Amino acid sequence: MKLTAVKLKKCVKIWRLSLYNSLMQRMAYRFNFLLMCVGVFLQMILTLIFINVIFGFIDNLSGWTREQALIVVASYMIIEGLMWATCAYLAGISRNIRMGTMDLILIKPMDAQYLVSIWRGDPEDWVRVATALLVFIYAIVNLDIPLAVVLKNLIYYIILMFNAYVIVYSITLILKSFSFWFVEATSLNLFNQAVTRMSQYPTDIFAHKIAKIIFSTVIPLAFIATVPAKILIGGMNLYLFFSSCALAIIFFYSSRKFWLFALKHYSSASS
């Protein structure tokens, strides 16, 4: 028990240092950093404008009102923002494999998956998280749900969002692990983005039966933003709640196994 606590403490410390280093690295180029923050902010504004335009024509989107849909959008943005802000190195894995620069991380006396995941975080994406939280608060306030109900559902929501983060992380890790074979794997980035971005709107818009089954099992997009939003708005749904927990565990376990398997096939680059 004590050993686990010590290990955990070390993990947190390394994570903190890597976040600091990422931030300091960005701040070394002030204007670039500023522009990146503004860029991230504008990107999000565009999404919000898009939502507004859609709701200018319709009252509801597959049963979701504007404010409800905004909760889904904000939830997705929080998850996406957190992924970039904490695990940005994962996105660049294929490049680092091709150049062989990952070698020096792999020899360090820490879990390679952990180190590779947290090695770099993009600080400008905290802007994404912060903006998303503002949108989230705005949507909640305009939803007309009693505060007591919101607070109660919020606890479930936070757990579901944690699961969503784990699911997105695991999908990313699995896709990125293919880089060990493909080496040049920009395609995986595109695929990864395509897949996760589909979850930024209520998944009910994918009305086809087969789509529904796929998006709640194989690629559980529904559980990334839609399910947390659903439970926050409509209250607890035990089936969805436990499905989300189970999926998070299954995905995390599989991604871990797959990563370890892929690592064995690593062929590195020459000097």
Partner 1 sequence: MPIIEVKNLSKTYEYYKKQPGLLASVKGLFRREKLYVEAVKEINFNIEEGELVGFLGPNGAGKTTTLKMLSGILYPSGGEARVLGHIPWKRQKEYQKQFALVMGQKNQLWWDLPAMESFILNKEIYEVPDKEFKYNLAELTELLDVKDILDIQVRKLSLGQRMKCELIAALLHKPKVLFLDEPTIGLDVVAQKNTRDFIKKYNKEKKTTIILTSHYMKDISQLCQRVIIIDLGRIIYDGRLDDLIKKYAEVDDILVDEVEVDDVIREIFGNGGGVK
Q: Does 268 bind partner 1 (CB under 8 A)?
A: yes
Site for partner 1 (CB under 8 A): which residue of 8, 24, 130, 137?
A: 24
Q: What is the Cα–Cα distance from 45 to 162, expressed in whole angstroms?
A: 25
Q: Which of 150/263 has CB closer to partner 1? A: 263
Site for partner 1 (CB under 8 A): which residue of 18, 68, 94, 153?
A: 18
- Amino acid identity at 267: S
Total binding residues toward partner 1, as defined by CB under 8 A: 30
Q: Three-state SS for 161?
A: helix
Mark 98-137 with x for binding to partner 1 (rule: CB under 8 A) and - for no binding.
Answer: -xxx-xxxxxxxx-x--x----------------------
Q: Does 187 bind partner 1 (CB under 8 A)?
A: no
Smallest separation, CB 99 to partner 1 (Å): 8
Q: Does 271 bind partner 1 (CB under 8 A)?
A: yes
Residue pair 171/194 in contact (Cβ under 8 Å)? The answer is no
Residue pair 271/191 in contact (Cβ under 8 Å)? The answer is no
Hunting for tokens 């999908």 — which residue is that?
171
Handedness of CA 34, 39, 44, 49 (dihedral sign): positive
Smallest separation, CB 78 to partner 1 (Å): 28
Smallest separation, CB 97 to partner 1 (Å): 11
Smallest separation, CB 101 to partner 1 (Å): 6
Q: What is the Cα–Cα distance from 57 to 53, expressed in whole angstroms?
A: 7
Determine the angle formed by the axes of helices 238-264 and 226-234, rounding to 10 degrees. 160
Q: Does 10 bind partner 1 (CB under 8 A)?
A: yes
Residue pair 161/79 in contact (Cβ under 8 Å)? The answer is yes
The token pair that represents 48 in the structure block: 């919000």
Which 70-99 positions form the footprint of partner 1 (CB under 8 A)? 99
Q: What is the Cα–Cα distance from 176 to 92, expressed in whole angstroms?
A: 9
Q: Which of 4/271 has CB closer to partner 1? A: 271
Q: Does 266 bind partner 1 (CB under 8 A)?
A: yes
The residue range among 12-20, 71-79, 138-146, 229-237 that interacts with partner 1, by the rule CB under 8 A, is 12-20
Q: Which of 10/197 has CB closer to partner 1? A: 10
User: Distance of CA 82 to CAs 23, 87, 88, 138, 151, Å?
Assistant: 15, 8, 9, 20, 22
Q: Three-state SS for 108?
A: coil
Site for partner 1 (CB under 8 A): which residue of 8, 21, 62, 234?
A: 21
- Number of residues that this document lists for the chain: 271
Which positions lie near partner 1, rule CB under 8 A? 10, 13-14, 17-18, 21, 24-25, 28-29, 99-101, 103-110, 112, 115, 264-268, 270-271
